[in-house]
Chain A
Amino acid sequence: MTTQSVPAPAPLTREAPSLGGFNVTVLRLEIRRLLRNRRTVIFALIFPVVFFLAFGLNSAYANESAGPGSHGNVSAFVMISMALYGAVLATTSGGAMVSIERAAGWSRQLRLTPLSPVAYIVIKMLTAMVLSLASVVVVFAVGGLTGKPSMPMYLWIVSAASVWIGSLVFAAFGLFMGYLLPTENVMQFLGLGLALLSFAGGLFIPLSQFPQILQDIAQWTPLYGLNQLVHAPMLGVGVQWAWAVNAVAWLVIFAGGAVWRFRKDTARV
């Protein structure tokens, strides 16, 4: 334009944003908003800690090994379980925010901006993962402060990291449910659903205490594989294919469902 005496018409000089509108300001505002939601904070940050304090501090647990060949005690085992519970609640809440946003008409409002649907999903996933990280850190920090969980330092890090990464499966779950359930109260359903899945996955009570038939069914539920995987390093057991298949299969199902509903939602009619 500086070299021309006549400017190009304004429309032709305007640009579309890169990355479909994705930016750090949006991410910051989304996280702030998520933390402003009292229900989400209670579910994702306070419940897991309370559960850990209630179930993980039994004085016998501190002295009891989590199993033959294990590198840690039962208290550490419970801490990892509760971190996983908190992390999947966090990512599910984060993903399910799309439900609230659709119900409020915000999604439609965003269609008047350059934000691309894919960038929107990425923002939702990242927001969910930030809350999940907070949840894991809080549970592990409280665990550390109590002095009861015991395992080598590297296992604190490996366990926390695997719980956090594993919770991604439930970010997809939250998105899927968020697009499926058109309600502002989506987390009331999902909170209950996750509690059931947590029982089935063996997060609250060891599956060996269930009748055989329930144990057989439980192995197919979405938290089972993840729960086994995140405890494996600490228990010092090899990873079984069935666990990984369970986790990956559910990730594919949830992500596929989310993409399906998302396509339907953003289709122009």
Chain B
Amino acid sequence: MTLTNMADERGRRPAGGSQPAAIALRRVHKNFGAVQAVKDIDLDISSGEIVAFLGPNGAGKTSTIDIILGLSQPTAGTAEVFGMQPRQAITRGLVSAVLQTGGLLKDFTVRETAEYTASLFVRPRPVDEALNRAGITSIADRRVGKCSGGEQQRLRFAMALLSDPELLILDEPTTGMDVEGRRGFWGSIRQDTARGRTVLFATHYLEEADAYADRIILLRHGQIVADGTSSEVKAMAAGRTVRATLAGADPVALSAIPGADNVEVRGDTVLVHSTDSDAVARYLLTKTPARDLEINTRGLEDAFIALTSDDNDTSAGGSR
């Protein structure tokens, strides 16, 4: 009985196989004409996870999110949210989202916008509570048209809280905010997620993913190139690059050095990326006539770029 009450308290479910995944994507493709925005994405997100979609613009983050929300249909594959069609999950108030493109009406006040939204759901949370949690109680009677971009974004967040969703999706929620606004916004989100909601957010800020997600999914060209905890992804992306002058280098032999995951030969210059740069240096200096050796650390930002940019197709470091 205690269990029942506790479970009811915040929609926290007892662990078990009966609970469908918050998000289940199966072989999802999305084409816009000749452009393949999403290529064969398989994804399971369990209840309670806080997941970041990390990737540059055009990586397929928004296209994937639109499919999860039922705003667009996958060209192929299936998307389920809590074991049901996305639209069904939305009508039940299970999923809500703060999107980049979702508009607001200028001539409603902040409170009216929230009241309007709340009235559409069965058993919504009180409007004042949502405004309070989003930190916009003081501007409740202000016209939306007079609110700053950050305030409007907080209103979208308040609207997303009204249905008390099991899954909250945020698509680059802090775009256009200054550092202060960004910190405040994430502060509100963090307070909220402490209550056990599943959260999926897209960002191209590495720090945001690092700071707020339990799990980071790296997207590039519509595909998942890395999926793991923040430290796993960082470790995958980390490492050093050893550069040396070496005529007639043998890429195959260099690739066989333990830890080496990317080898580039440009004329007489070789670049070897490795999680164990010492081993690469030792090999180059002892087994080859290499000279002018340099070892460079790749910063986190560079690592992210390396994992998600166009020109490292030879990298073996991308897959999970």
Chain A interfacial positions (CB closer than 8 Å to B): 1, 4-7, 9-11, 14-17, 21, 23, 25-26, 29, 32-33, 36-37, 100-101, 104-109, 111-115, 268-269
Let me know if A6 and B91 touch, CB within 8 A.
no
C-alpha gap A113/B96 in the complex (Å): 8
Task: Decide if B253 is an interface residue (CB 8 Å cutoff).
Answer: no
- Which of B70-78, B208-216, B218-226, B276-284 lies on the face that meets chain A? B70-78
Q: A6-B14, A7-B7, A29-B108 are in contact. List 12 more A-B contacts (CB 8 A).
A: A5-B4, A7-B8, A9-B13, A9-B82, A11-B166, A21-B120, A32-B112, A108-B71, A109-B156, A113-B163, A114-B90, A114-B92
Interface centre among A1, A9, A100, A115 (most CB of B within 10 A): A9
Q: Knowing A29-B108, A104-B103, A104-B104 touch, does A11 contact B89 (C-beta < 8 A)?
A: yes
Q: Return chain B residues, CB-CB under 8 Å to A100.
A: 105
B102 close to A33 (CB less than 8 A):
no
Also in contact, A114 and B102, with CB within 8 A (given A5-B3, A6-B4, A29-B112): no
B107 interface hit (Cβ, 8 Å) = yes
Which B residues are in CB contact (< 8 Å) with A33? 105, 107-108, 112
From residue A150, how far is it (CB to closest CB) to chain B in Å? 41
> Residue B3 contacts which of A1, A6, A101, A114 (CB distance < 8 angstroms)?
A6
Would you give 14 A-B contacts (Cβ < 8 Å), ordered by A?
A9-B82, A11-B89, A14-B93, A16-B122, A21-B120, A26-B119, A33-B105, A105-B101, A109-B104, A111-B70, A112-B71, A113-B117, A113-B163, A114-B92
Closest chain-A Cβ to B151's Cβ sits at a distance in Å of 16
Q: Give the residue name and chain of the A residue nearest to B92 (CB).
A: A14
The CA-CA distance from A135 to B304 in the complex, in Å, is 61
Residues of chain B within 8 A (CB-CB) of A11 are: 20, 82-84, 89, 92, 94, 166
| Residue pair A268, B120 in contact (C-beta under 8 Å) | no
Q: How far is the CA of A85 from the CA of B16 in the complex (A)?
A: 65
B104: which A residues are within 8 A, CB to CB?
Answer: 104-106, 109
Contact partner of A112 among B3, B92, B97, B108, CB < 8 A? B97
Q: Are A268 and B103 in contact (CB under 8 A)?
A: no
What are the nearest 7 A-B pairs in CB distance? A105-B103, A25-B119, A16-B91, A14-B92, A11-B82, A10-B11, A114-B91
Q: CB of B19 within 8 A of chain A? A: yes
Contact flag A111-B122 (CB < 8 Å), given A10-B166, A11-B20 = no
A17 touches B3 (CB 8 A): no
* Residue numbers in B under 8 Å from A15 (CB-CB): 92, 122
Q: With an 8 A cutoff between CB atoms, is B238 at the interface?
A: no
B102–A112 touching, CB < 8 Å: yes
In the complex, the answer to whether A26 meets B122 with C-beta atoms within 8 Å is: no
Residues of chain B lying within 8 A (CB to CB) of residue A101? 103, 105
Q: How far is the CB of B42 from chain A (nearest CB, A)?
A: 21
Residue B236 at the A interface, CB < 8 A? no
CA distance A26 to B119 in the complex (A): 7
Chain A residues with CB under 8 Å of B205's CB are none
Report A111 CB to chain B, min CB distance, Å.
6
A108 — which chain B residues lie within 8 A by C-beta? 71, 99, 101-103
Chain B residues closer than 8 Å to A10, beta-carbon distance:
11, 13, 166
Task: Check A113 against B120 for contact (C-beta < 8 Å).
Answer: yes
B158 CB → nearest A CB, Å: 13
Closest beta carbon of chain B to A213's beta carbon, Å: 44
Q: Are A113 and B71 in contact (CB under 8 A)?
A: no
Interface-centre pick from B82, B96, B108, B120 (highest chain A CB count, 10 A): B120
Please determine whether A25 and B105 come into contact, CB atoms closer than 8 angstroms: no
Known: A9-B18, A25-B116, A105-B101. A268 touches B70 (CB 8 A): yes
- Which residues of chain A have C-beta atoms less than 8 A from B8's C-beta? 1, 7
> Chain B 117-131 against A: per-residue CB contact (8 Å), 1 yes, 0 no?
101111000000000
Residues of A within 8 A of B1 (CB): 5
Check: B88 CB closer than 8 A to any chain A CB.
yes
On chain A, the residues within 8 Å of B107 by CB distance are 33, 36-37
Residue of B nearest to A119 (CB): B120
Q: Which residue of B lies closest to A10 (CB)?
A: B11
Asked if residues B119 and A23 are in contact (CB atoms below 8 Å), the reply is: yes
Q: Could you say which residues of chain B place their CB within 8 Å of the CB of A112? A: 69, 71, 90, 96-97, 99, 102, 160
Instruction: From the candidates A1, A37, A107, A113, name the one contacting B121 in the complex (CB within 8 A).
Output: A113
Q: From residue B253, how far is it (CB to closest CB) to chain A in Å?
A: 50
Report the Cα distance A111→B159, complex, angstroms. Answer: 13
A21–B19 Cα distance when bound, in Å, is: 27
Asked if B264 lies at the interface with its beta carbon under 8 angstroms from chain A, I say: no
**Min C-beta distance of B86 to chain A, whole Å:** 10
A9 touches B73 (CB 8 A): no
